[in-house]
């Protein structure tokens, strides 16, 4: 079952902040975040493990709430280069077998 991402799409002006949420109905082992620019391959951002871990990549950070089976991606002071579709992926059984959400399309405008 695919994790649910929200919102489906968001438009930001440069410098604004955004939060993308990822929820699963099943117990999770870890949560992966990827970004895909139009016409390109998905690119890894970070992996979060159980325990409420928070990680960062550039000005992008994320948290994982194990009890709620939810992860959130935080984009602060957005830049034009942040535009793309963000996918969360949940892993519950090993072998790095990830089930991806349907994505959140983020557009940053000047």
Chain positions contacting other proteins, by CB under 8 A: 2, 30, 32, 34, 40-44, 47, 49, 87, 89, 94-103
* Residue whose CB is less far from other proteins, 41 or 110: 41
For 39, the token pair is: 């016409």
- Minimum distance from residue 39 beta carbon to other proteins (Å): 9
Task: Return the biggest CA–CA distance within the chain.
Answer: 42
At closest approach, how far in Å is the CB of 15 from other proteins? 29
Q: Which two tokens stand for residue 83?
A: 């535009």
Please check whether residue 18 is in contact with residue 81, taking contact to mean a CB–CB distance below 8 angstroms: no
């Amino acid at each position: 079952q695919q994790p649910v991402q929200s919102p489906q799409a968001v438009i930001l002006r440069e410098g604004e902040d955004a939060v993308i949420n990822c929820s699963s109905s099943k117990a999770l082992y870890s949560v992966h975040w990827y970004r895909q620019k139009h016409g390109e391959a998905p690119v890894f951002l970070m992996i979060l493990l159980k325990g409420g871990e928070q990680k960062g990549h550039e000005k992008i950070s994320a948290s994982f709430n194990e009890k709620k089976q939810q992860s959130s991606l935080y984009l602060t002071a957005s830049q034009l280069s942040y535009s793309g579709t963000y996918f969360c992926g949940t892993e519950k059984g090993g072998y790095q077998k990830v089930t991806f959400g349907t994505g959140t399309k983020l557009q940053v405008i000047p």
